[in-house]
Structure 1
Amino acid sequence: MKFYGKLALITALVTLAACQHGQKNSDSAAVTDPDADRCGASAYQNYVGQPLSALSKLQFEHPVRAIPYNSAVTMDFNLNRLNFLGDKDNVITRVYCG
């Protein structure tokens, strides 16, 4: 009986190992759903790490909201609006639709 128990355990472990998925690289995890990226946030990810003042030189076709650190904003959800979230130093930390 011990032999069959060990064989069943090994079979279970091999089966579970076959079910695991590898992690994707963060670069390949970009937004691919067009509905989730209606505002075009994926095109502005290169602004992460730049100052919020860099946005004043740009023109946008969608509504845009620059959100300085610790500021009050409305909680309405608009998938067509592009949001730039800033930190304490007014550096862009996140670009997203909403």
Structure 2
Amino acid sequence: MKHYGKIAVFAALIALSGCQSGSEKSAATAPVDPEMDMCGASQYQQYVGKPLSAIESLRFDRTVRAIPYNSAVTMDFNLNRINFMGDKQNVISRVYCG
């Protein structure tokens, strides 16, 4: 019985090691599709994790929309508009075009 237990533990360790990723890719290093980044949202990814109020002092050449958590917004899709999505704590959780 001891022999089977050791084999089972070893097999479980091997299986779990397959779930480990070799390197993490951040949004900043990921390749950007120019067609989906027409608004230039990739330039503002460093604001993810900062409060929504952090963008108030910025000047934009494009239309910008700050979206607080659980707020109503229009569903029109505008690839030239930058959206800053906020979470429950009013922290920017996503920056995207649309």
Normalising by structure 1, what TM-score?
0.71
Q: SS of the counterpart of 1:96?
A: strand
Task: Tell me the residue number matched to 2:80.
Answer: 80
Q: SS of the counterpart of 1:35?
A: coil
2 CA distance for matches of 1:41 and 1:24? 24
2 CA distance for matches of 1:35 and 1:25? 24
Measure how far apart 1:26 and its partner are.
2.1
Structure 1 runs (4+) greater than 4 angstroms displaced: none
Q: Higher helix fraction: Structure 1 or Structure 2?
A: 1
Task: Tell me the residue number matched to 1:30.
Answer: 31
List gaps (5 residues or longer) in structure 2. Answer: 1-21
Measure how far apart 1:30 and its partner are.
3.3
1 CA distance for matches of 2:47 and 2:31? 15
RMSD: 1.8
Give % identity.
68
Measure how far apart 1:34 and its partner are.
1.5
Please list the CA deviations of residues 31-66 of structure 1 after superposition, one character each: whole Å capped at 9, or x if unmatched.
1x2121010000000000000000110000010000
